[in-house]
Structure 1
Amino acid sequence: MNETAWPLLAIAVGAYLLGSLSFAVIVSRAMGLADPRSYGSGNPGATNVLRSGSKKAAAATLLLDAFKGWLPVALLGWFGAGLPPAAAAVAGLAAFLGHLYPVFFGFKGGKGVATAAGVILGWQPLLGLAVVMVWVSVALVSRYSSLAALTAAVLAPALYLAGNGWLWQANAAVLMALSLMGLLLLWRHRENMRRLLAGTESKIGSKKK
């Protein structure tokens, strides 16, 4: 393994372990709530935590899940001088994969929407803001969190390319990581897509069953 690969491996492992902290479960336990994997969609994410009736728990989950995606990328921006250009892409993708497949929770994680948003904000704040606005706009109109996530996932790489050269300078490694995250988000929402087509998908704020 060459000298460049070792730092990237260390970055990937550290970011993955951070991403593996499932804050939906951690916050719910800390606040005395039911495990989010036991009701609603069973997804350990902010939208499902909201079904518990605790807006505070859902907000904390959302912010912490986004934070764990943003932090490793931000740290590289502050202290990563001299590292390969792909380092930020590796850190963000590893944190995202940690959320999807957390080593601390039996590799059964959430769908990654908030963590992906945090990663993108770390890569390029303006792009992150645009993606978040897409999610918010679709969610407000449709009240389907899944539809908002799917729309944002599809548009994120296109928005990144659209801003290249005048809002930011696109990085090939980041584009690849962004595209892979989008594909994984689509895969993780495959059941939601089926329910959307069948008209049985739960809307934001619906109570747990």
Structure 2
Amino acid sequence: MDFLFNINAQFYIAAYLVGGIPFGLLLARFFAGVNVKESGSKSIGATNVLRVVKESNPALAKKLGAATLLLDALKGIAVLLAAMFAGMPESTLWGVAVLAVIGHCFSPYLWFEGGKGIATGMGVLMVMLPLETLVGIVVWAVMAKTLKISSISSLTGVIALLVASFFIHPEMAHAPVVIITIILFYKHIPNIVRLVKGEEKAVV
């Protein structure tokens, strides 16, 4: 158990545990009295919070969706900034970033189920790769405005960010970004299947 006294391990554990906090589930249950794990896509992310709460309270749905998006992004950012303040090396920071995303997608509080990871992923990548993340957000915004399908917009933005990282920072080790991308695509497999079948619904 000596590894628990290692500061790197402490930040890794914190990243996973904080990343796993299901803000969407908590907000929807507390303020709207609904369980997003039992409705819609059964995801704990902002899109499903918006979709499920909208059925009973459209005005509240927008607020809770926005709050979920913000909190899911901030939870990864918070641990990263703490690690930076503690003087952790870049390798540790990348470990924290990846584990925050893993925590959200495979939450220890939800029997290792969780959300799709887009907000948390974009949050940590905004800290680590701000220019690339800005590219991803712009692509996401354009796709969301034109197609209005959350999964396509999100995944296109992620791909744009990954590709941009090879151009803007060709010298860096891209493995952490690739790992995060793979996790996000893995969590979107049901959406990808629905897209192929033409069953994926737009968010209106």
Is residue 192 of structure 1 aligned with residue 191 of structure 2? yes
Alignment of 1:9-158 (within 5 A): 9-51=9-51, 52-53=53-54, 54-77=61-84, 79-81=85-87, 83-158=88-163
Give secondary structure in 1 for the equivalent of 2:32: coil
**Structure 1 counterpart of 2:100, one-letter code:** A
**CA-to-partner distance for each residue in 1:129-181, whole Å, 9 max, x for gaps?**
2211111111111111100122122222211121127xxxx532xx2111101
In structure 2, how many angstroms separate the alpha carbons of the residues matched to 1:14 and 1:70?
12
Measured against aligned partners, the alpha-carbon deviations of 1:66-89 in whole angstroms (never above 9, x if no partner) come to 111211222223x132x3320110
Distance 2:159 2:200 in 1: 19
**Preserved CA contact (<8 Å) 1:153 1:186:** no
- CA distances 1:89-110 after superposition (whole Å, capped 9, x unpaired): 0111111000011111221100
Query: Aligned AA for 1:25?
Result: L
Which shifted more, 110-119 or 29-38? 29-38
How many residues matched?
196
Specify the code of the residue in structure 2 equivalent to 1:161: F
Paired letter, 1:95: A
Which secondary structure state, in structure 1, belongs to the residue aligned with residue 64 of structure 2?
Answer: helix
Question: Bigger relative contact order, structure 1 or 2, given CA contacts below 8 A and separation 6+?
Answer: 1
How much identity, in percent, do the aligned residues show? Answer: 31
List gaps (5 residues or longer) in structure 2: 55-60
- 4+ residue stretches of structure 1 with deviation over 6 A? none
For 1:11, the aligned partner's letter is F
- What is the deviation of 1:2? 10
Distance 1:127 1:73 in 2: 17
